[in-house]
């Protein structure tokens, strides 16, 4: 029982990271029908800049805040220079290559500036493990899934209640019609990439105390986050968060009761099976492209 | 001839460049090459090799070089990728015409280099990567040598330490799912069986794994009171943290993958984690180590020995260069074959060990120069990796 609880808590912590990354993919896809494949590197930028900020003598909260803002700026700049010029024609896929390329460049640059080692980000949340019915977990790990759920709720409210949120919905629904209604489509798309990057960099800062910041930390998390977004249904915010948390917990149970090396095999097999049964993802809506 | 045809011929002709046998090429030059990771997560490994090699070469050149000519050092980046290591091997042997090639940090690269090294016939001296099969590869004549630790011997050394501290006689083994980690599995199993102890948990993990509580729980529930690590710092940190979370406190003894910055990553949790090395610049140094450290300080602008990551790499490379230089003198020529044979004749009182002789042609296990009796146990203590005898941990053993 304690063991099962341990796996669930550890799984929720990792699932929370997947969920935050997947939420970013959801925001971008909703507005632009394109995503930033360097999104994992946005997470890395948040974590690495926070550590560099602390190195430079900034207080921890300020370093984290600046790192998250810098991550958001990265998202905005990337949309402007690596996505927008390549998204003009229908079904154009140039942005896939350009965003992947930017991600690789960001990683190389980070390796040069930050070095090859993993570095810790200090946080009161990892000072000591707390015991919950015999299962050990860092407070920081409990915060991650909570933030993911909060971000999801906040995003939902924003999409329903605010002008910007509604404009995002409109752009997602039909670019041309939205533009005819006087919505500045480019600005909305830019905003959603910025918002997604904010989530990504925030996830990086949250997770760095637990898994340490390093130049290549974003690759696998970005990929898993994307997989989770697809499983959950990239058009549904709550869907990707639920899928993220569930995927994290499932991974831990596979590691615990089958074996560590079986984790990726079982995880990605489950992904393929789910996509066969639910081509739009578990909670996704069918999207109709009009050509 | 149109451009298309020309290009196609060029492609067809390219492989010919590599089929020319080494002997047909011009004379080798007084140069030692190295393929190592100088970018990527293990860049500190390439940096350590460079430091040790450059300082040794400066010392040799200050005394007139080898065979009357100054030695040269060239280093190429393989970033830990085996294909690039293979390319660099050819480049060092055929373009730079070096006499000897030094190995790098990654075992997977060294294993991949066995083939081109023998196809060309250039002596290879490993100075970091510890994989057993890279050097004990069954070739005859064998061109692969090593002045570094060997996993087979490291496994025995670690199991000996584990046997000393284990009260239950039950040992757990955690290894990374890579060429280095998997290569050590048979070595560790054999060493534990030989010591008459019981391996109760064999657990693996991947690079970048964020949590290892399932593995820690299994080892804890199996009753192991000593855990052997074949891990790098990042994953070693996740292991000790996961153990802490599930309230599991075994004695941890690791191969040198956790000799980098585990102390910084894991904080107080790293205290007492023991690591095997061939050399350490930490703590009190003998006059020779002190002299080398002063040269490193002056040349590379370091302030404190704790800034050195992988001090073993510096010392191994330093000794290896001196051994190679002596072999060239003994061979009397910058010739691959003659230098290979001369390596078996070198006797050298080095920084890490007394090499007497460095290598033994009669014993396939003795393509390795550093015997296990020279391995050193160090321990993480408040963020610093110190020789265990100079810490409180040394007294309980």
pLDDT digits (tens, 9 = 90+) for B228-271: 999 999 999 999 999 999 999 999 999 999 998 899 899 999 99
Average pLDDT over residues B312-320: 97
Residue B396 in this model has a pLDDT that exceeds 80: no
Q: What is the pLDDT of residue A289?
A: 59
Query: Percentage of chain B with pLDDT > 90?
Result: 82
The one-character DSSP state at B28 is: P
CB contact under 8 A, A116 and B265: no
Is residue A116 within 8 A of residue B310, CB to CB? The reply is no
Q: What is the ipTM of this complex?
A: 0.85
Nearest residue on chain B to A139, alpha-carbon basis: B245
Among the partner-chain residues B217, B241, B264, the one whose CB lies closest to the CB of A6 is B217
Average pLDDT over residues B390-397: 74
From residue B199, alpha-carbon distances to B163, B185, B212, B263, B380 in Å are: 11, 11, 19, 27, 25
Residue B272 in this model has a pLDDT that exceeds 70: yes
Work out the pLDDT band at B278, boundaries 50, 70, 90.
very high
Nearest residue on chain B to A111, alpha-carbon basis: B40
CB contact under 8 A, A260 and B244: no
Q: What is the pLDDT of residue A262?
A: 87
Is residue A200 within 8 A of residue A42, CB to CB? The reply is yes
Under 8 Å CB pairs connecting chains A and B tally to 94
Residue B22 in this model has a pLDDT that exceeds 50: no
Residue B298 in this model has a pLDDT that exceeds 70: yes
The one-character DSSP state at B368 is: B
Q: Helix crossing, B336-343 with B311-331: angle to 10°?
A: 110
Q: Picking from A88-92, A124-128, B65-69, B213-217, which range would have the lowest pLDDT averaged per residue?
A: A88-92
Q: Which residues of B touch A138 (CB under 8 A)?
A: 241, 245
Q: Which residues of B touch A17 (CB under 8 A)?
A: 210
Among the partner-chain residues A116, A219, A264, the one whose CB lies closest to the CB of B40 is A116
- Strand pairing of B198-205 and B170-176? parallel
The Cα–Cα gap between B256 and B379 comes to 11
Among the partner-chain residues B44, B215, B309, the one whose CB lies closest to the CB of A260 is B215
The Cα–Cα gap between B85 and B77 comes to 8
Q: Which residues of B touch A (CB under 8 A)?
A: 39-44, 177, 203-206, 208-211, 213-215, 217, 233-234, 237-238, 241, 244-247, 260-261, 264-265, 267, 309
Q: What is the pLDDT of residue B21?
A: 47
The Cα–Cα gap between B383 and B264 comes to 6
Q: Which residues of A touch B209 (CB under 8 A)?
A: 260
Residue B1 in this model has a pLDDT that exceeds 80: no
Give which of A20, A116, A121 to mutate to test B binding, by max B Cβ within 10 Å.
A116
Q: What is the CATH number of domain B20-149+295-359?
A: 3.40.50.2300
- Concatenated DSSP letters for B150-206? -HHHHHHHHHHHHHHH-SS-EEEEEEESSHHHHHHHHHHHHHHHHTT-EEEEEEEE-
Nearest residue on chain B to A137, alpha-carbon basis: B245
Q: Which residues of A touch B104 (CB under 8 A)?
A: none
SS (H, E, C) B78-139: CCCCHHHHHHHHHHHHHHCCCCEEECCCCHHHHHHHHHHHHHHCCCEEECCCCCHHHHCCCC
Q: Picking from A177-186, B22-31, B36-45, which range would have the lowest pLDDT averaged per residue?
A: B22-31
Average pLDDT over residues B127-149: 95
The Cα–Cα gap between A52 and A9 comes to 30
Q: What is the pLDDT of residue B14?
A: 57
Taking the CA of residue B352 and the nearest CA in chain A, the distance in Å comes to 26
Residue B182 in this model has a pLDDT that exceeds 50: yes
pLDDT means per 10 residues, chain A with 291 residues, are 90 94 93 89 96 95 96 95 80 85 92 84 90 90 95 94 90 86 91 95 94 90 93 92 96 89 89 92 75 53
Q: Is the peptide bond between B141 and the residue preceding it cis, with omega within 30 degrees of 0?
A: yes
Nearest residue on chain A to B235, alpha-carbon basis: A211
Among the partner-chain residues B43, B213, B237, the one whose CB lies closest to the CB of A212 is B237
By C-alpha distance, which of B98, B138, B95 is closest to B118?
B138
The Cα–Cα gap between B335 and B340 comes to 8
Q: Which residues of B touch A40 (CB under 8 A)?
A: none
In chain A, residues 226-255 whose CB comes closer than 8 Å to chain B: 252, 255
Q: What is the pLDDT of residue A90?
A: 63
CB contact under 8 A, A216 and B211: no
Residue A236 DSSP SS3 = coil
Average pLDDT over residues B212-224: 94
Q: What is the CATH number of domain B152-277+376-396?
A: 3.40.50.2300
Q: What is the pLDDT of residue B158?
A: 95
For residue B188, give both structure tokens.
Answer: 């560790």
Q: What is the CATH number of domain A2-277?
A: 1.10.3470
In chain A, domain spans: 2-277
Query: Percentage of chain B with pLDDT > 70?
Result: 93
CB contact under 8 A, B215 and A255: yes
Q: Which residues of A touch B210 (CB under 8 A)?
A: 14, 17, 207, 210-211
DSSP H or E run through A10: helix A2-32
Work out the pLDDT band at B275, boundaries 50, 70, 90.
very high
Q: What is the pLDDT of residue B306?
A: 86
Q: What is the pLDDT of residue A26?
A: 94
* CATH 3.40.50.2300 domain residues, chain B: 20-149+295-359, 152-277+376-396
CB contact under 8 A, B234 and A210: no
């Amino acid at each position: 029982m304690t063991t099962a609880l341990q796996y669930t808590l550890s799984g929720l912590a990792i699932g929370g990271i997947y969920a935050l990354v997947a939420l970013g993919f959801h925001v971008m896809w909703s507005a632009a029908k394109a995503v930033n494949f360097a999104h994992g590197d946005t997470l890395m930028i948040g974590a690495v800049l926070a550590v560099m900020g602390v190195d430079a003598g900034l207080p921890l909260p300020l370093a984290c805040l600046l790192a998250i803002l810098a991550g958001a700026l990265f998202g905005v700049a990337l949309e402007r220079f690596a996505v927008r010029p390549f998204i003009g024609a229908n079904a154009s896929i140039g942005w896939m290559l350009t965003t992947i390329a930017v991600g690789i460049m960001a990683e190389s640059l980070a390796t040069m500036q930050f070095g090859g080692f993993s570095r810790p980000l200090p946080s009161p949340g990892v000072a000591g493990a707390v015991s919950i019915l015999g299962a050990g977990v860092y407070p920081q790990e409990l915060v991650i899934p909570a933030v993911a759920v909060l971000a999801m709720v906040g995003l939902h409210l924003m999409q329903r209640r605010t002008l910007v949120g509604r404009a995002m919905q409109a752009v997602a629904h039909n670019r041309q019609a939205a533009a005819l209604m006087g919505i500045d489509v480019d600005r909305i798309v830019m905003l959603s990439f910025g918002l997604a990057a904010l989530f990504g960099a925030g996830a990086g800062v949250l997770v760095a105390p637990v898994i340490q910041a390093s130049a290549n930390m974003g690759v696998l998390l970005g990929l898993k986050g994307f997989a989770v977004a697809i499983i959950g249904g990239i058009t549904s915010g709550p869907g990707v968060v639920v899928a993220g948390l569930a995927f994290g917990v499932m991974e831990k149970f596979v590691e615990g009761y089958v074996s560590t090396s079986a984790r990726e095999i079982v995880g990605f097999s489950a992904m393929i099976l789910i996509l066969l049964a639910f081509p739009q993802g578990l909670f996704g809506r069918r999207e109709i492209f009009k050509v | 001839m149109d451009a298309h045809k020309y290009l196609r011929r060029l492609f067809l002709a390219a492989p010919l460049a590599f089929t020319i046998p080494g002997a047909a090429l011009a004379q080798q030059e007084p140069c030692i090459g190295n393929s190592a990771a100088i970018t990527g997560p293990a860049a500190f490994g390439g940096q350590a090799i460079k430091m040790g090699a450059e300082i040794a070469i400066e010392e040799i050149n200050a005394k007139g070089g080898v065979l009357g000519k100054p030695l040269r050092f060239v280093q190429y980046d393989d970033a830990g990728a085996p294909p690039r290591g293979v390319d660099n091997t050819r480049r060092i042997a055929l373009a730079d015409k070096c006499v000897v090639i030094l190995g790098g940090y990654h075992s997977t690269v060294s294993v991949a280099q066995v083939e081109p090294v023998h196809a060309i016939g250039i002596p290879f001296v490993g100075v970091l990567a510890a994989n057993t099969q890279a050097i004990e590869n069954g070739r005859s004549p064998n061109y692969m040598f090593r002045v570094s630790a060997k996993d087979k011997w490291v496994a025995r050394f670690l199991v000996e330490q584990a046997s000393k501290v284990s009260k239950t006689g039950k040992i757990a083994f955690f290894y990374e799912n890579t060429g280095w980690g998997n290569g050590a599995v048979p070595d560790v199993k054999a060493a534990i069986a030989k010591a008459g102890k019981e391996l109760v948990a064999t657990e693996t993990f991947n690079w970048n794994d964020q949590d290892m509580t399932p593995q820690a729980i299994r080892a804890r529930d199996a009753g192991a009171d000593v855990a052997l690590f074949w891990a790098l710092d990042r994953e070693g940190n996740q292991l000790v943290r996961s153990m802490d979370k599930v309230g599991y406190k075994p004695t941890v003894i690791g191969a040198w993958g956790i000799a980098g910055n585990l102390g910084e990553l894991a904080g107080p949790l790293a205290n007492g984690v023991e690591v095997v090395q061939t050399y350490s610049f930490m703590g009190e140094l003998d006059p020779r180590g002190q002299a080398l450290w002063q040269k490193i300080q002056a040349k590379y602008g370091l302030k404190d020995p704790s800034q050195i990551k992988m001090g073993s790499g510096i010392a191994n490379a330093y000794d290896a260069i001196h051994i190679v230089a002596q072999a060239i003198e003994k061979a009397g020529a910058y010739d691959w074959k003659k230098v290979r044979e001369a390596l078996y004749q070198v006797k050298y009182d080095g920084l890490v060990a007394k090499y007497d002789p460095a290598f033994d042609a009669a014993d396939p296990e003795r393509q390795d120069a550093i015997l296990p009796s020279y391995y050193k146990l160090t321990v993480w203590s408040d963020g610093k990796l110190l020789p265990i005898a100079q810490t409180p941990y040394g007294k309980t053993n």
